[in-house]
């Protein structure tokens, strides 16, 4: 989603088409990476998807990619304003996890990431409940953070005390807060974390994008060290929302992923 948002911004600035290279998604035997599927098509995004690497490409495509395209590799975890001034045909490689790469077109990005109707939960009861109370999404990112040693060493699992501090901070600032718990392993959360406040566990039986959408409907947010919950909070357009994020996003690396207006604890 970060990659798309930057690409969308540059495509608008340069009046160019946006192509998403899906080659990396074909890799299924790399133990250092968690296999991913292409799921952005649940959103109303503007793109063409192609496999840009491989012997199946024509000579013309290989020539254009090698000699007529400027390849841009992300230089680190800090924002590089020069990227937004790039011209020509560009091939971007990196994560680009910084709101500054697309903040100028925030309204367009939010429109593009409107979830398609057929992906939305069929039962609107949970949406109505989220809207009727002082709802706070709480996201626990587990999955490969638990099961994959490389992912666990790089990202790390948040200490339960982070969530306790975040909930306490929300209770200071939000009257009658009702916490809605999201996770890719909701049973683990039920077994390992005790909630004393009003709360609702949101079952993980739908497409992930639907959970992200429901998170964005909440009025405030406690996010994990996860781009999934980052987007769940960012897609909430309310300028008065409170977002609590962990100070330590990666185990050892620094990042500028958290917007200045969000609270880090």
pLDDT tens profile 75-87? 888 999 999 999 9
To the nearest whole number, what is the mean pLDDT of the chain?
86
pLDDT tens readout for residues 9-38: 999 999 999 998 888 887 766 666 667 788
> Residue 43: what are its φ and ψ, rounded to 5°?
-105, 165
Say what the pTM is: 0.88
State how far the Cα of 171 lies from the Cα of 161, in Å rounded to an integer: 15
- Kindly tell me if the per-residue pLDDT of 144 is higher than 60: no
- Kindly tell me if the per-residue pLDDT of 41 is higher than 60: yes
Which stretches does DSSP call E strand in the chain?
Answer: 19-21, 48-50, 70-73, 90-93, 134-140, 177-183, 199-201, 220-222, 243-245, 263-264
pLDDT computed for residue 34 by the predictor: 66
Task: Give the pair of three-digit tokens for residue 126.
Answer: 């949970």
pLDDT tens readout for residues 92-121: 999 999 999 999 999 999 999 998 877 776
**Max CA-CA distance within the chain?**
63
Domain with CATH 3.40.50 in the chain: 119-264
Kindly report the CATH class assigned to 119-264. Answer: alpha beta
pLDDT tens readout for residues 204-218: 666 788 899 999 999
């Amino acid at each position: 989603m970060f990659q798309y948002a930057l690409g969308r911004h540059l495509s608008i600035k340069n009046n160019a088409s946006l192509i998403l290279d899906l080659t990396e998604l074909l890799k299924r035997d790399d133990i250092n990476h968690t296999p991913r599927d292409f799921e952005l098509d649940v959103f109303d995004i503007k793109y063409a998807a192609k496999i840009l690497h491989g012997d199946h490409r024509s000579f013309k495509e290989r020539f254009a990619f090698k000699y007529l395209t400027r390849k841009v590799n992300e230089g680190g975890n800090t924002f590089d304003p020069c990227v937004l001034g790039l011209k020509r045909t560009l091939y971007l490689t990196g994560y680009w996890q910084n709101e500054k790469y697309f903040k100028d077109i925030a309204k367009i990005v939010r429109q593009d990431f409107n979830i398609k109707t057929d992906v939305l939960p069929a039962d609107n009861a949970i949406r109505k409940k989220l809207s009727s109370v002082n709802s706070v999404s709480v996201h626990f990112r587990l999955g490969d953070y638990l099961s994959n040693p490389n992912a666990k060493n790089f990202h790390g699992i948040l200490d339960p005390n982070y969530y306790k501090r975040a909930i306490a901070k929300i209770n200071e600032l939000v009257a009658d807060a009702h916490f809605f718990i999201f996770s890719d392993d909701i049973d683990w959360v039920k077994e390992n974390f005790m909630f004393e406040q009003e709360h609702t566990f949101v079952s993980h039986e739908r497409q992930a994008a639907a959970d992200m959408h429901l998170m964005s409907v909440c009025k405030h947010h406690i996010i994990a060290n996860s781009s999934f919950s980052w987007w769940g909070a960012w897609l909430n357009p309310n300028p008065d929302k409170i977002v609590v994020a962990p100070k330590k996003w990666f185990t050892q690396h620094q990042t500028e992923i958290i917007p200045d207006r969000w609270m880090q604890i």
